[in-house]
Chain A
Amino acid sequence: MTSRRTAEGGLIDRSRPLQFSFDGKSYQGFKGDTLVSALLANGVRVMGRSFKYHRPRGPWGAWIEDPNAVFNVTLDGAELPNCLGAATMLETGMEARSVNAFPSARFDLKGGLDLLHRWLGAGFYYKTFIWPDWHLFEPMIRRMAGLGELNTDLIDGYASDQLHDHCEVLIVGGGAAGLAVARAAAEAGQDVVLVDDHDVAGGRLYQLDSVEGQTPRDWVDDQLAAIEAAGGRVMTATTAFGVFDHRLVGLAQQGAFGTAPRLWRIRADRIVLASGAIDRPITFADNDRPGVMSLDAACEWLARYGVLAGRDIAVLSNNSFAAPAVRMLARAGANVTEIDPTDGAIRALGGKRLKGVEVAGKRHPADTVLVSGGMTPLVHLWRHAGGKLDWCEQRQAFLPGATPEGMAAIGAANGSFDLDHALAEARAVARHEPRPDGTGTYRLTPLWPKPGSKGRQWIDFQHDVTLKDIELAARENYVSVEHLKRYTTLGMAPDQGKTSNMAGLAAMAAIQGRAIPEVGTTTFRPPFVPQPIALYSGPHAGQLYHPLKRLTLEAQHRAANAALGEYGGWLRPGWYGSGDPKFHIRDEVVTARKVAGILDASPLGKIEVIGPDAERFVDFIYYNTVSTLKPGQIRYGFMLTERGHIMDDGVIARLDRNRFLISCSSSHTDHVRAHLETWRQDGNDPDRIFIHDLTQAWSTVTVTGPKARDIVAALDIPLDLSAGAFPHMTLHYSSFDGTPVRIARVSFTGDLSYEISIRSSRAADLWQALAAAGEKLGACPVGIEALSVLRAEKGYILIGKDTEGETMPHDLGFGIPRQKKRAAFVGDRSLHMEGANRDDRKQLVGFSVEPGAPALPVGAHLVGEGERPRSQGYVTTSHDSTTLGHPIALGLLERGADRIGERVTAWHQGQRFTATICAPCFFDAEGERLHA
């Protein structure tokens, strides 16, 4: 065993052993371990196979920056894919499986793929698009590449809670700087939230012997106690994964394994970024061998988890942090040799088992090689917020530059790597005082990838991108960092290049002979570490993903055996009865035509326009002239967009001089209301027009059919229902059982119809009464499906079904207002533009199909003759009409109105159908039944 648990030390609780397994083998760790630290303590080193070449990989980093130890983890039946082993806290009973390896990371059957690497370089897949044929390679690549496998079983109760909150100062990172700034700000009376992604705050402090005269543990505990005593909040195991507009910070708070993290959306007056820095790899031949690890990670494993990474350790570091690290490791019992990595070419020795390192031709035997190529500040959130980065030559790193409003960066995230300096900086920032001068004692010798070097030198461990891939991309002219990223997939793995982007762009800079800041960085995007989608969906899942609007009469419909479905955002009866809907729908149509149908029309919009300018306003909003209506009269009309296209249709009733009732389509109510409000306040006098949406205050039951009058009369409504006293397209007030009702004679079926509206709390009584009266006469409830057959027979359109995005009213045969209306109205000028005047516009027509022939498929293209006929329009509605004894259809067809009587071919998925073009009305063209 190369790595092992030390006899003492670390933050783990040695009194609480935890059992777990990895690739089927059982191990023991302690409370406070991560999966990776526990495996290292057990001497396990190979923890995964690489994404593309299936090379054996061991952990590189001790926390979220580790690209290699990616596991599928199962606990109590909950399986989560692609867990970062280095940042997954150990729980007893965990079963971890390495990803992309079978049967195990140590013995991977596809390990031989690595031998093919010469042919699998950057852009391999893209090139197969051109030659020979990507279809040959895609299935193989899909099988072989990739990370964890998705388990499609849902985890019970895996849903994120989402909370909104606010604070004055939000501090990201609970290391030395973060703790110091939080304490100072909290003690100055500010409302502080400190966020740290570890279970135990303190960052890298535990690597030190003392902090301001205390042990690191005591110092951290003191700061936390002081912050909380001053009213500050501390959130551990919580990742600030993104900074969004107007200083909204997204936090993912981890709970027990297998539960979804909780999402906090915290709006902060000020954000202090104290997210620290990570050690970066050195690029050399076979630098991905298990046992080549981050020097800083080895110190973390030792300090936090009491794990010594190796026995005979070679340290390759180009910076001044090496000395204390070497002392720490040596004191823990390791045999440490320091080697200058800037001496010459470097190569790792050995394979699955590391044997040492060769530098400038000299071999250094070792079981572990710890490398440090310099610190890279974690500036992700700075960039999310729109902050700029400046290149620091001395520290060879991008540091926070121009500051986004209300944000500050401190500590290692700001390049302040010395403890004293970071603490002074933090306290100054908390008090809005000038920061201390100087840059500290950190020194390093620049050390970046050397193009042209021998061997396979890994840049991106998680996506298997090598220095040669970058050279290839440069040769093929993918030199911009954003192109480089996509061509080679550098930095596109789940870790988003935390350890690889710097080396990748430095390599590109070296290849082109440019300076690193000239090459620049790719865009930093949230989330900082991968988050489950459930975090974002929160409670909006299942029935609450897109909750439907519910009818007041739903219980009555269910009692009547209704099949409910979504229609325009409402849950409505499609038909009544169980089993094959076809027969129920046909029966409903037949009954409605012979006797009567009873329909819940409650979702129809009921928007009132009230006020002294209401009359002028509805004339402006409608294509048709509405102001000529007298109180109690109703008109059918269109609302247009300013482009002249039909936005909605429906009837509008004048209730009295200053009050109109707009009955817009059920699914468009919210849209129409916003449309009306916009025009009311833009260009009209909003003090003289008011818009009240009362759609849900009222429920509407429609009785339609030849016996409709008899059914309504049975309710004892004190009203003369005769055609003379109550003609088509008029409205009357009356009462039902002591409750006021509004009765409109409008029809969407072509038959005599009464729409009775009553306050929703009385709707059930009205429905019951009509259903009972109807039943005596042989009527039945009808659903939306039967209604859509009935309306199609009459040639009544549904907006959005029988119209498309360019349909204008004259395409439907409603051309008169376009020619005659004088007042201005929305969309008026568009009706006379060149496009509106074209003679090949698609116009609404009907299609009559011979009895016995199949109905036209909806969506079928109407085509001319020839081998490759052009589409001239399409079928929008089609039904086999029992009423008429043959199939009928509606559709939009170029020059349709001039082609009545012609035969037409409809083409659908290789099949041809024929029909005769006719006027879009198949039933009661004279309107006798309508006006009965």
Chain B
Amino acid sequence: MRDDRHRWAAHDGRWPRFDAQGISLATTEPERQTLISGPSILSHYPGAIEWPDIATDDSYSLCLRRDRILRVNGLEMPDGWNQEQEQAVSDASDAYTVFDLSGPKALDLLKHGAELSLQKPSRSVARNLFGFGVFLYRYGAEDGYRLHVPRAQAHPAWQTLTRQAVRL
């Protein structure tokens, strides 16, 4: 039973854009994130982004597992089991906070948090980065990256990334 309110820095779930040392970090809010699972989901959604693919469209799918994708800015779908498509669907728009990371040092920064290389492809974009379970993929440009961080860990993940960035 301890009052630690002052021990932990307050946050309100918003983060101002961060620019330093060749790194830009900002939150972005996709309109919709949908978890879709199913036995043949990867063939339903060909072109799901893997590592180190670059997502360029506004609407795309992330390959998470052999039977799961995260659809970003897809059509609205009813939650639950879709018998016809054999798909389990859940709206997860608020489950992940999304960060856009870019700049010439972005990859360097990421290499602080995981054994990561553009030469080492991996089918799933789900990774452990600085101890956080995130979805990490390239977005928009050669040196652009996007991270989906579990909502409740967005604050420490942001702190970790920015503290590391100023030390680059």
> Does a CB–CB distance below 8 Å link A and B in the complex?
yes
Interface residue ranges, A against B (CB under 8 Å): 161-166, 265, 267, 539-540, 543-544, 547-552, 554-555, 558, 562-566, 570-571, 574, 581, 603, 608, 610-612, 614, 655-659, 686-687, 690, 692, 694-698, 759-761, 785
Q: Are A687 and B159 in contact (CB under 8 A)?
A: no
A610 to B114, CA, bound (A): 32
Q: Are A554 and B151 in contact (CB under 8 A)?
A: no
The main secondary structure of chain B at its interface with chain A is loop
Q: Are B81 and A562 in contact (CB under 8 A)?
A: no
A362 to B79, CA, bound (A): 96
B155 surroundings in chain A (CB, below 8 A): 547, 550
Min CB–CB distance B78 → chain A (angstroms): 10
A562 surroundings in chain B (CB, below 8 A): 5
A539 to B113, CA, bound (A): 9
Given contacts A164-B115, A551-B152, contact A697 B95 (CB under 8 A): yes
A547 to B151, CA, bound (A): 13
Min CB–CB distance A656 → chain B (angstroms): 6
Q: Are A690 and B164 in contact (CB under 8 A)?
A: no
Report if B80 contacts A (CB, 8 A): yes
Q: Are A570 and B90 in contact (CB under 8 A)?
A: no
Which partner residue on chain A sits nearest B110 by CB separation?
A: A164
Report if B19 contacts A (CB, 8 A): no
Q: Are A687 and B10 in contact (CB under 8 A)?
A: no
Report if B94 contacts A (CB, 8 A): yes
**Partner of B159 from A265, A267, A543, A695 at Cβ < 8 Å:** A543
Q: Are A761 and B94 in contact (CB under 8 A)?
A: yes
A547 to B163, CA, bound (A): 14
For the A-B complex with A543-B7, A558-B5, A785-B1 known, give 19 more contacts whose Cβ atoms are closer than 8 Å: A164-B111, A539-B160, A539-B163, A543-B159, A549-B152, A554-B12, A564-B3, A566-B2, A570-B152, A574-B1, A574-B3, A608-B90, A612-B83, A658-B80, A694-B90, A696-B96, A696-B150, A697-B151, A698-B94
Which partner residue on chain A sits nearest B131 by CB separation?
A: A540
A692 surroundings in chain B (CB, below 8 A): 35, 37, 88, 90, 92
Q: 30 A–B contact pairs at CB < 8 A?
A: A166-B115, A265-B115, A539-B163, A539-B164, A543-B7, A543-B156, A543-B159, A544-B159, A544-B163, A547-B155, A550-B152, A550-B155, A554-B12, A554-B13, A555-B13, A562-B5, A563-B3, A563-B4, A564-B3, A571-B4, A603-B152, A610-B81, A690-B67, A690-B68, A692-B88, A692-B92, A694-B35, A696-B151, A697-B92, A760-B151
A608 to B68, CA, bound (A): 14
Top 3 A-B pairs ranked by shortest CB distance? A547-B156, A549-B152, A697-B95
As a 0/1 sequence over residues 126 to 168 of chain B, the CB contacts with chain A under 8 angstroms (1 = contact) are 0000110000000000000000001111111001100110010
A919 to B83, CA, bound (A): 47
Which partner residue on chain B sits nearest A699 by CB separation?
A: B94
A164 to B111, CA, bound (A): 5
Min CB–CB distance A818 → chain B (angstroms): 31
A614 surroundings in chain B (CB, below 8 A): 81
Interface residue ranges, B against A (CB under 8 Å): 1-5, 7-13, 35, 37-39, 67-68, 79-81, 83, 86, 88, 90-96, 108, 111-112, 114-117, 119-120, 130-131, 150-156, 159-160, 163-164, 167
A554 surroundings in chain B (CB, below 8 A): 10-13
**Partner of B95 from A166, A555, A696 at Cβ < 8 Å:** A696
A267 to B111, CA, bound (A): 13
Which partner residue on chain B sits nearest A670 by CB separation?
A: B133
**Most B CB within 10 A of own CB, among A166, A265, A555, A610:** A610
**Partner of A550 from B11, B37, B164 at Cβ < 8 Å:** B11
A612 surroundings in chain B (CB, below 8 A): 81, 83
B91 surroundings in chain A (CB, below 8 A): 697, 759
Q: Are B92 and A555 in contact (CB under 8 A)?
A: no
Min CB–CB distance B42 → chain A (angstroms): 13
**Most B CB within 10 A of own CB, among A166, A550, A565, A574:** A550
A271 to B3, CA, bound (A): 51
B39 surroundings in chain A (CB, below 8 A): 687
A759 to B86, CA, bound (A): 25
A603 surroundings in chain B (CB, below 8 A): 152
Given contacts A690-B37, A696-B95, contact A565 B10 (CB under 8 A): no
Q: Are A610 and B93 in contact (CB under 8 A)?
A: no
A267 to B120, CA, bound (A): 12
B13 surroundings in chain A (CB, below 8 A): 552, 554-555
Which partner residue on chain B sits nearest A538 by CB separation?
A: B112
**Partner of B81 from A163, A547, A549, A611 at Cβ < 8 Å:** A611
B86 surroundings in chain A (CB, below 8 A): 687
Min CB–CB distance A608 → chain B (angstroms): 6
B120 surroundings in chain A (CB, below 8 A): 166
Which partner residue on chain B sits nearest A696 by CB separation?
A: B151
Q: Are A694 and B95 in contact (CB under 8 A)?
A: yes
Min CB–CB distance B86 → chain A (angstroms): 8
A563 to B94, CA, bound (A): 26
